[in-house]
């Protein structure tokens, strides 16, 4: 392992440097040979797999099935829906040729100019177009509806500035695409899925999120409405953690997808789409982790318990006792590693597993062996306790639940302590730079929204649900405002 473990930058010194270092030092991901694209390493990918596993089950419980659509999309598909083109054209990767050949001097390869594609292909930045082109063939009657498909895949958006997990040119996600007979049904599905995401984020990732509706400028290209979950990072910035879109009949019209209703009349289909990505891993890191490294919620931790023996030459007794504990924990469905490697000293292992965010650590030395005890440490608070060996499995099981709850509560109190109602623009301008969510009255115009962004780089994240709205006065324009919106600087 060439990974340099010492000297993680402190959050207070340089938050974004802390983040970048942590991603690498905790062995989650590394820079690849391709600009803007990262390698997700096994430890990082294991987190994604746990997310996938849980989300996939949640989707299926609502009747969704998985399918797979092509990576490459005919360029012409993109011109069908005007706003959609505009939204993605600037960052589309285009395949123009299908063959390479050796250069004249045989030292390299070059694109064979005779192998030009008649119709260029786009590497999917999202799949609405290819999917709606396909759905056209699947949908003829009201009996064919609804269609509830999801796909797990990669997408590519040619980004100018990238950051591991938060924004990379290629990323992994799931995209659900549904087709319905009525607007009400499609709208209901859109809302259902944002609630699935919110539930998943809070219960599984321990991320408190604000649900809401995007403003017109922030909504998905081609959608009539976008719902979002917004999480607050430890630097007070907002991170859009998942979105669900009500697409109306835009794609049905663009791809001419109609069905015959019960009166034998042709009707355009209504649609939703929704997605979360590997960005959630970035959200996890920036919400829970500390200056010692990752802090992972037990439910997504690739490794939930690590057991470390401290012995001298003769480890046989410790191997026996700790091996049994490991086996018992595994029987309970807890993932455990018994690390009795003799080439690292205990202190090194402590630091290393803390950096990697393993929620619980058990330690046993000869002293414990005599006393029948074991040391148990929780990663979230770094508290250590020496407890009897009897019943350790139950204690660990309970502790994992406590940690899950504790880091959620901790994140929630942090978030709640940094949500402010603000009615004064001058005050807003000075305070928003320090982070936090600002709930401010908005007159609903794109002009004031643009003004706020130009002045402060902060944007309207959403109009929050679950918030008792009052009428008031827009702090920028002074015009009447029907409700407050959530404004923050964001990733």
CB nearer RNA, residue 258 or residue 451: 451
Instruction: Choose the binding region for RNA from 186-194, 306-314, 326-334, 417-425 (rule: CB under 7 A).
Output: 306-314
Please pick, from the candidates 116, 348, 433, 434, the single residue that binds RNA as defined by CB under 7 A: 348
Nearer to RNA, 108 or 265 (CB): 108
Interaction of residue 351 with RNA, rule CB under 7 A: yes
Q: Is 449 in the site for RNA (CB under 7 A)?
A: no
Contact pick of 99, 116, 317, 345 for RNA (by CB under 7 A):
345
CB under 7 A: which stretch of 76-84, 136-144, 337-345, 475-483 binds RNA? 337-345
How many residues at the interface with RNA, by CB under 7 A?
61
Residue 403 within binding range of RNA, rule CB under 7 A = no
Residue choice 457, 471, 478, 480 for contact with RNA (CB under 7 A): 457
Q: Which is nearer to RNA, 145 or 369 (CB)?
A: 369
Which residue in the set 323, 346, 444, 472 belongs to the binding site for RNA (CB under 7 A)? Answer: 346
Instruction: State the nearest-atom distance from the C-beta of 300 to RNA, in Å.
Output: 17
CA distance linking residue 231 with residue 57, whole number of Å: 23
Q: Counting contacts by CB under 7 A, is residue 20 touching RNA?
A: yes
Residue pair 472/484 in contact (Cβ under 8 Å)? The answer is yes
Longest dimension (CA), the chain: 84
**Closer by beta carbon to RNA, 8 or else 147:** 8
Minimum distance of RNA from residue 402's CB (angstroms)? 18
Strand partners, 361: 306, 377
Q: Does 182 bind RNA (CB under 7 A)?
A: no
> To the nearest whole angstrom, how small is the minimum distance from the Cβ of residue 258 to RNA?
29
Is the separation of the CB atoms in 5 and 355 below 8 Å? yes
How many other CB atoms are there within 10 angstroms of residue 418's CB atom?
A: 16
What does DSSP say about strands 419-421 and 258-260: parallel, antiparallel, or unpaired? unpaired
Q: Does 347 bind RNA (CB under 7 A)?
A: yes
Segment contacting RNA by CB under 7 A, of 49-57, 253-261, 307-315, 464-472: 307-315
Three-state DSSP string of the chain: CCCCCCCCCCCCCCHHHHHHHHHHHCCCEEECCCCCCEEECHHHHHHHHHHHHHHHHHHHHCCCEECCCCCEEEHHHHCCCHHHHHHHHHHCEEEEECCEEECCCCCCEEECCCCEEEEEEEECCCCHHHHHHHHHHHCCEHHHCCEEEEEEEEEECCCCCCECCCECCEEEEEEEEEEECCHHHHHHHHHHHHHHHHHHHHHCCCCCEEEEECCCCCCCCCCCEEEEEEEECCCCCEEEEEEEEEEECHHHHHCCCEEECCCCCEEECEEEEEEEECHHHHHHHHHHCECCECCCCCCCCCCCEEEEEECCCCCHHHHHHHHHHHHHHHHCCCCEEECCCCCCCHHHHHHHHHHCCCCEEEEEEHHHHHHCEEEEEECCCCCEEEEECCCHHHHHHHHHHHHHHHHHHHHHHHHHHCEEECCCHHHHHHHHCCCCEEEEEECCCHHHHHHHHHHHCCEEEEEECCCCCCCEECCCCCCEECEEEEEECEC
Please tell me whether residue 10 binds RNA under the rule CB under 7 A. no
Distance in Å, CB of 176 to RNA, minimum = 14
According to CB under 7 A, which residues from 77 to 96 bind RNA? 87, 90-91
Per-residue x/- mask for RNA, residues 136 to 165, rule CB under 7 A? ---------------------x-xxxxx--
- x/- string (CB under 7 A) for RNA, residues 203-222? -----------------x--
251 to 280: interface string for RNA, x by CB under 7 A: --------------------------xxx-
- CB of residue 330 to RNA, shortest distance in Å: 22
* Separation between Cα atoms, residue 361 and residue 354, nearest integer Å: 9
- The yes or no reply on residue 19 touching RNA (CB under 7 A) is no
Beta-carbon contacts of 321 under 8 Å, excluding residues fewer than 6 positions away, are 364, 369, 389
φ, ψ at 280 (rounded to 5°): -55, -30
- Near RNA by CB under 7 A, which window of 75-83, 146-154, 357-365, 406-414? 357-365
In the complex with RNA, the residue whose CB is nearer, 259 or 437, is: 437
Name the segment binding RNA (CB under 7 A); options: 55-63, 112-120, 382-390, 470-478.
382-390
Residues 93-132, one symbol each (x = binds RNA by CB under 7 A, - = not), give ----------------------------------------
Applying CB under 7 A, which of residues 366, 445, 451, 469 lies at the interface with RNA?
A: 366
Binding region for RNA (CB under 7 A): 1-2, 4-6, 8, 16, 20, 31, 35, 87, 90-91, 157, 159-163, 166-169, 171, 220, 240, 242-243, 277-279, 292, 310-313, 342-348, 350-352, 354-355, 363-369, 375, 377, 382, 384, 386, 457
């Amino acid at each position: 392992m060439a990974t340099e473990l010492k000297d993680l930058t402190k959050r207070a010194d340089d938050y974004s440097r802390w983040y970048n270092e942590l991603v690498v030092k905790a062995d989650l991901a590394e820079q690849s040979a391709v600009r803007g694209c990262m390698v997700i390493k096994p430890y990082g990918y294991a987190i994604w797999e746990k997310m996938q596993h849980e989300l996939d089950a949640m989707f299926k419980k609502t009747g969704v099935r998985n399918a797979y659509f092509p990576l490459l999309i005919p360029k012409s598909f993109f011109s069908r829906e005007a706003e959609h083109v505009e939204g993605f054209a600037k960052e589309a990767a285009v395949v123009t040729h299908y063959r390479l050949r050796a250069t004249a001097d045989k030292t390299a390869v070059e694109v064979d100019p005779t192998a030009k594609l008649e119709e260029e292909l786009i590497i999917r930045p999202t799949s609405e177009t290819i999917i709606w082109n396909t759905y056209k063939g699947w949908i003829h009657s009201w009996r064919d509806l609804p269609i509830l498909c999801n796909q797990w895949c990669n997408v590519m958006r040619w980004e100018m500035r990238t950051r591991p997990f938060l924004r990379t040119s290629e990323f992994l996600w799931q995209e659900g695409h549904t087709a319905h007979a009525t607007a009400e049904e499609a709208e209901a599905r859109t809302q259902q899925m944002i609630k699935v995401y919110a539930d998943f984020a809070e219960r599984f990732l321990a991320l408190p999120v604000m649900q809401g509706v995007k403003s017109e400028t922030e909504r998905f290209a081609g959608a009539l409405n976008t719902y979002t979950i917004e999480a607050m990072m430890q630097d007070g910035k907002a991170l859009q953690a998942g979105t669900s879109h009500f697409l109306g009949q835009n794609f049905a019209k663009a791809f001419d997808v109609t069905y015959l209703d019960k009166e034998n009349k042709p009707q355009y289909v209504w649609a939703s789409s929704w997605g979360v990505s590997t960005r959630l891993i970035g959200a996890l890191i920036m919400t829970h982790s500390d200056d010692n490294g990752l802090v992972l919620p037990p439910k997504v931790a690739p490794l939930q318990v690590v057991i470390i023996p401290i012995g001298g030459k003769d480890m046989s007794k410790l191997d026996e006792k700790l091996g049994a504990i490991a086996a018992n924990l595994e029987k309970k469905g807890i993932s455990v590693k018994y690390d009795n490697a003799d080439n690292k000293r205990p202190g090194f292992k402590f630091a290393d597993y803390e950096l990697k965010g393993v929620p619980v650590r058990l330690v046993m030395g000869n002293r414990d062996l005599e006393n029948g005890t074991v040391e148990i440490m929780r990663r979230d608070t770094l508290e250590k306790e020496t407890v009897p060996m009897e019943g350790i499995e139950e204690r660990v099981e309970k502790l994992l639940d406590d940690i899950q709850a504790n880091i959620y509560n901790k994140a929630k109190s942090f978030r709640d302590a940094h949500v402010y109602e603000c009615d004064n623009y001058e005050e807003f301008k000075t305070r928003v730079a320090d982070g936090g969510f600002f709930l401010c009255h908005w007159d609903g115009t794109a002009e004031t929204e643009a003004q706020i962004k130009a002045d402060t780089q902060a944007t309207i994240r959403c109009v929050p649900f679950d918030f008792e709205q009052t009428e008031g006065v827009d702090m920028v324009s002074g015009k009447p405002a029907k409700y407050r919106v959530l404004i923050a600087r964001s990733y």
